[in-house]
Chain A
C-alpha cells in the first residue's frame, strides 16, 4: 500500500440507493482496507439505531445530515482508496433524474465511468442516462457492471442479453472503450476475487480492470496548449529579469528550444527554459504545472495561450456547444448574457440560439422545445465578447470545455462542451 509510484485513476459511479451501488463501493473500500474501524463502528451503530438488519454501507457515502435523514444522496461525494498499483478517486453521484448536474460534475474529470445494472431489471432509463452523460463528457472508458448476478442464478443468458441490449444502445453513442463484468457486490463475486459460480465468464474482476485499464494516453499529448495562468515576476536582485509564465499544460509536450506562438498576439518566440521549484526540466506535458520562460520579451498575461506555430487552437467568438443547465431557479435565457470561463479566461457571452433539447433517455432531438430547465441538456450557439482559443471537446477536454455564470447571483449555471 505504500508504493509511491502509482498512477491516479478517477472514476465516477451513478445510481440510486437500491441498485447496489453503495454496496459495491463499500466492498471496494472494505476489500482494499480503506474503511476504518471507527468509521465502520459509527455506521454500525447508526444502522442499529435505525433498526436496519445489516450494516448499511450507504451511510459511508451519505455525509450530509439531510441525506441521512432522507436516505438519498444529494451531492457528489468523493471517496479514496488505493491498492499497491493505483490510487483511486471515486466521484460518487446520485442517479435520480433531478441530479443530472451532479453526474455531469463527477464525469468531467473521470477516466472511467462505472455503470451499474441490476441483472433482474436490465438496461433501464437511468443506465441510458448515465451512458449518454459518459459519452457527452467523453469519459475515455466505460465499465458496465451487471450486478446482483446471485439473484439470477449467475445465468450467462441473462448476462448476454443485457450485454447485447447495452451494446445496441451504445452504437448510438460516442464511446470508445466499453467492458462488461458480471458481479455480485453483496456476495463479492468478481469484485476483488474471481467468482467460482460463473465459469462461463472469461474476463477480469472489477478490481483487476480498475488496476489495469490503460489510462496513460487519456490526455492529449499531441496538440500543444498552455493557457497562461499567472505571471511570475520575483522583483529581486537574484532574479531581476525573471518573467515566468505559470500554468498547467492542457495538451501536447513542450520542450526546451521549441518554437512557440502566443495567442492572441500571434508573436512567436522560443522556449528558453521550463522551470519548477525542483529545478529546470527538459519537457512538460499534461497534467503538469510548470513555468515557461521565453527567449523574447513579449507582453503576455493571464488568459493568453502558448501553442506551437504549426498547431494552433482555433481563435473564435462563435461557439457551438452541448450545454447542461444547472440553475433550479431560472431557465436558460435566449439572448441572455452570462459570464463565461474557459481555461484561464474570464469573458462574457450571449446566447444566440437554442437549437434543440436532447432527450437524455432516448437521444431524441426536440427542436420545438427550447425551454431549458435545470438538468436539461441542449445544443446552443454562443457569441463571446472577445476571441477565445478553443479545441473541440472530443480533442481536448481542457481546452474544449466552458462554464457559464449568472452575473446577478454568481452561481455556476451551466457546463458546456465545445463541438
Chain B
C-alpha cells in the first residue's frame, strides 16, 4: 500500500501551506526568533521551493537581550540558504519613546516586541507573517487557524475566526489588514525534535545540556545575565541545563538536563511531565496571558 508516516504527512502539509502563502500573498515574511520552531520553518520553506530560492524574507525582532549563540546561528543559517534577513530593534522603539521599558526585577522586553513587530510589518508592507506557533503549545494557540486574519491594528479576534476546511485556505483581505500564517500548527514538540533528528538539521548549542550560571525564581531556572537584576536572596549557581524554547533571555527558562544529543532530547521530551512553555515567565503572568498578547498582535 501507499503509506506515509506522520512526520512525512506533517512535512507535506507544511510545504503545502508555504506554497499557498507564496501564491496568495504579495509580500510574505517568516518571523524568525532563533528557536527550533523557526529553524524548522526555515528548513521546510527551503524544501517547499527547491531548487529555487525561498521567495520570502526573514524578520527577526531583536529585544537586545539575546543569547549570543542565537545570533551566530541565525547569521550562519541565512548565509547557508542565501536568505534575506531584516532585523527590527526593540531598543529603537524604546529610544524613540514609542514604548516604555518595564521596571522591577521581573522586567522583560517580551511584551514590548509587539510594537516593533507591528511597526516592522507596516514598514515592510508585509501582508503575511509566518510564525512557528504550534497548537500543542498553549491553550489559546489550540484554537488558532493556519491562515489567521488580523485587522488593520494587527489584532486577533478569536471569536470571529474564519472556518478552515479541507485544504482550502482563504487569504483574502482588505487593504491594511494582514495575515498570520502558522505552517507547523499540527506539529507537537516531539514531532519537531524527531523530524530535526531524522533530517540531521544542525541546532544551536543552547538546546543541548551545558554548564551555565543560573538563578532560580518562582520555581523556574533563568540564565544568569546582566539583563536580569537579582532579587534579594537570589544568587547565581552553576547547573547542567538546556533550553526547551529559546526567546528573549529574560523570560526563557532553562531546565536541568543531561541531554547532550538530539536523541537524548527526544527521550527527555517523550517522558517529560511539563510542557515546554512551563518555563516561560511570560506565560505565567495570568491564566490568559497568551490570549491577551495574541489579541494585541503578538505571536
Which residues on A are within 8 Å of B, measured CB to CB?
A: 1-2, 4-8, 33, 36-39, 42, 46, 60-66, 68, 74-80, 82, 86-87, 89, 101-102, 104-105, 108-109, 216-217, 219, 221, 229-230, 232-235, 238-239, 242, 246-248, 253, 275-278, 285-289, 291, 302, 326, 339, 341-344, 397-398, 401-403, 405, 410-412, 415
A403 touches B168 (CB 8 A): yes
Q: How far is B51's CA from A239's CA once the two chains are assembled, in angstroms?
A: 8
For A411, the chain B residues whose CB sits under 8 A away are 162
Contact, CB under 8 Å: B166 / A397: yes
Which of chain A's residues have a CB closer than 8 A to the CB of B84?
A: none
Chain B residues with CB below 8 A from A108, complex form: 165-166
Show 25 A/B contacts (Cβ-Cβ < 8 Å), sorted by A. A2-B190, A7-B3, A7-B5, A7-B6, A39-B275, A64-B158, A66-B159, A75-B158, A80-B135, A86-B6, A87-B6, A89-B186, A101-B163, A219-B2, A230-B22, A232-B51, A238-B51, A275-B50, A277-B46, A277-B47, A287-B9, A339-B172, A341-B168, A405-B172, A415-B165
**Which residues of the other chain, A, contact B12 by a CB distance below 8 angstroms?**
248, 287-289
Q: Which of B256-282 contact A (CB under 8 A)?
A: 266-267, 270-275, 278
> Whose C-beta in chain B lies nearest to the C-beta of A303?
B23
Residues of B with C-beta under 8 A to A343: 167
Given A78-B142, A341-B170: A217 and B1 within 8 A (CB)?
Answer: yes
* B188 adjacent to chain A (CB < 8 Å): yes
In the complex, the answer to whether B166 meets A109 with C-beta atoms within 8 Å is: yes
18 other contacts beyond A398-B166, A410-B172, with CB at 8 A cut-off?
A6-B6, A7-B4, A36-B274, A63-B140, A63-B291, A78-B135, A104-B165, A105-B164, A108-B165, A216-B1, A232-B49, A246-B19, A248-B16, A286-B2, A302-B23, A398-B167, A405-B172, A412-B170
Give the docked Cα–Cα distance between A302 and B22 (Å).
Answer: 11
Given known contacts A89-B186, A234-B53, A36 and B272 CB-to-CB distance under 8 angstroms: yes
Q: Check if B47 sits within 8 Å of A287, measured CB to CB.
A: no
- Is there an interface contact between B190 and A1, defined as CB atoms closer than 8 Å? yes
Chain A residues contacting B191 (CB-CB under 8 Å) are: 87
Q: How far is the CA of A363 from the CA of B141 in the complex (A)?
A: 36
Which one of B16, B142, B275, B278 contacts A79 once the chains associate, using CB atoms below 8 Å? B142
- Whether B75 is near chain A, meaning CB under 8 Å from some CB there, is no
In angstroms, how far is the closest chain B Cβ from the Cβ of A60? 8
In whole angstroms, how far apart are the Cα atoms of A196 and B16 in the complex? 47
Query: When the two chains form the complex, which single residue of A5, A76, A278 contacts B5, counting CB atoms closer than 8 Å?
Result: A5
Indicate whether B66 reaches chain A with its CB closer than 8 angstroms. Answer: no
Most chain A beta-carbon neighbours within 10 Å: one of B13, B170, B173: B170
Instruction: Confirm or deny: B80 has a beta carbon within 8 angstroms of a beta carbon on chain A.
Output: no
Which residues of chain A are near B140, meaning CB under 8 Å? Answer: 63-64
**How far, in whole Å, are A38 and B139 apart by their CA atoms in the complex?**
12
Query: In the bound complex, do residue B19 and residue A230 qualify as a contact, i.e. CB atoms below 8 Å apart?
Result: yes
Is B96's CB within 8 Å of the partner chain A?
A: no
Please, which residues of chain B bring their CB within 8 A of the CB of A104? 163, 165
Give the number of chain B interface residues (Cβ < 8 Å). 67
B163 close to A102 (CB less than 8 A): yes
Let me know if B205 is at the binding interface, CB within 8 A.
Answer: no
Within the assembled complex, what's the spacing in Å between the Cα atoms of A32 and B217? 31
Cβ–Cβ contact B4 & A288, under 8 A? yes
**Interface status of B52 (Cβ within 8 A of chain A):** yes
User: Looking at B9, B161, B165, B166, which has the most chain A CB atoms within 10 Å of its CB?
Assistant: B165
A2 partner, pick from B172, B194, B291, beta carbons under 8 A? B194
Instruction: Judge whether B52 and A233 touch: CB under 8 Å.
Output: yes
Residue of A nearest to B171 (CB): A410
In angstroms, Cα B48 to Cα A12, docked, is 29
Chain A residues with Cβ under 8 A from B188's Cβ? 80, 82, 87
| Chain A nearest CB, measured from B172 CB (Å) | 4
**A279, chain B: closest CB distance, angstroms:** 10
Q: Which A residues are CB-close (under 8 A) to B159?
A: 64, 66, 74-75
Residues of B close to A76: CB separation below 8 A: 143
In the A-B complex, the 8 residue pairs with the smallest Cβ-Cβ separation, listed nearest first, are A63-B139, A277-B47, A8-B6, A38-B278, A108-B165, A410-B172, A234-B52, A289-B15
Cross-chain contact A401 with B166 (CB below 8 angstroms): yes
Q: Which B residue sits closest to A285, measured CB to CB?
A: B2
Q: Can you name the residue of chain B whose Cβ is closest to the Cβ of A233?
A: B52
- Is A105 within 8 A of B139, CB to CB? no
Question: A2 touching B288 by the CB < 8 A rule?
Answer: no
Most chain B beta-carbon neighbours within 10 Å: one of A38, A39, A219: A38
Query: Hey, which chain B residues are within 8 Å of A339, CB to CB?
Result: 172
B174 lies within 8 A of chain A by Cβ: yes
- Closest A residue by C-beta to B15: A289
Is A2 touching B267 in the complex (CB atoms < 8 A)? Answer: yes
Closest chain B CB from A136 CB (angstroms): 12
Q: Which of B9, B267, B274 has the most CB of A within 10 A?
A: B9
Is B122 on the interface with A (CB-CB < 8 A)?
A: no
B 191-223 contacts with A by CB, 8 A = 191, 194, 198
Residues of A within 8 A of B162 (CB): 411-412
Is residue B128 contacting chain A, with contact meaning CB distance below 8 A? no
Other-chain residue from A33, A235, A401 in contact with B168 (beta carbon distance below 8 A): A401
Residues from chain A with Cβ under 8 Å of B226 in the complex: none
Q: Which residues of A have CB within 8 Å of B51?
A: 232, 234, 238-239, 242
Q: Are A80 and B23 in contact (CB under 8 A)?
A: no
Chain A, residue nearest B5 (CB): A5
B239 at the interface (CB under 8 A from A): no
Contacts A4-B7, A216-B1; is A326 near B163 (CB within 8 Å)? yes
Q: Is the CB of B3 within 8 A of A216?
A: yes
Q: Complex Cα distance A252/B16, Å?
A: 18
Q: How far is the CB of B37 from chain A (nearest CB, A)?
A: 15
Q: Mark B97-137, 1 if CB is under 8 A from A, else 0.
A: 00000000000000000000000000000000000000110
- In angstroms, Cα B149 to Cα A410, docked, is 10
Q: List the A side residues contacting B47 at CB < 8 Å.
A: 276-278
Contacts of B173 on A, CB cut-off 8 Å? 410
B10 interface contact, C-beta 8 A: yes
> Could you tell me the distance between the alpha carbons of A219 and B163 in the complex, rounded to whole angstroms?
23
CB neighbours (8 Å) of B135 from chain A are 78, 80
Establish whether residues A289 and B16, one from each chain, have CB atoms under 8 Å apart when the complex forms. yes
